[in-house]
Amino acid sequence: QLNLPFTMLKDIVVSTTTSSNREGWEFVDALETKEVCNRPQNGTKLPIVLHYCERYKYGPMFFSKYRLKKNIMDCNKRLLQPPPEHFVGQFNYSLTPPRADGKDKKTYQAKPEPIKGDKISKREAFMLCGLTRFRSG
């Protein structure tokens, strides 16, 4: 062992919306509802890495990296559609779409699933908005 000094950073990344204290969710949790999908005021601390390792769903919106088409990065493809302007706080449920492989095509029924609390709602919305709304500049 070299016994080199180190600093452990646990608040620069978010991924699992149900995580308790091992990610940077306290920054998102502290945002006002209107700031979750819009650029917050200067000086507001936010996680700098959004790690999309799960599926995210809030109201009728759903994202899973496994559902993306392989050619999504082609220049002629349309951009992902951003959520409506003030959609955070409007839903207390989520919807899971039918399977991508179509195996449940005949039996699928959209069933609203309750979201467990405002904190999880805010986190799910933050991850969905992060795909389309946050831009550099």
Over residues 84-99, the pLDDT tens digits come to 878 899 999 999 999 8
Single pTM value for the model: 0.84
Read off the pLDDT of residues 19-35 as tens digits, 9 standing for 90 and up.
877 899 999 999 999 88
Report whether 124 contacts 17 (CB < 8 A).
yes
Domain boundaries, the chain: 13-132
Using the predicted structure, report yes or no on whether residue 105 has a pLDDT greater than 50.
Answer: yes
CA dihedral 20, 23, 27, 28 (to 10 degrees): -70
Strand (E) or helix (H) holding 55:
strand 55-58
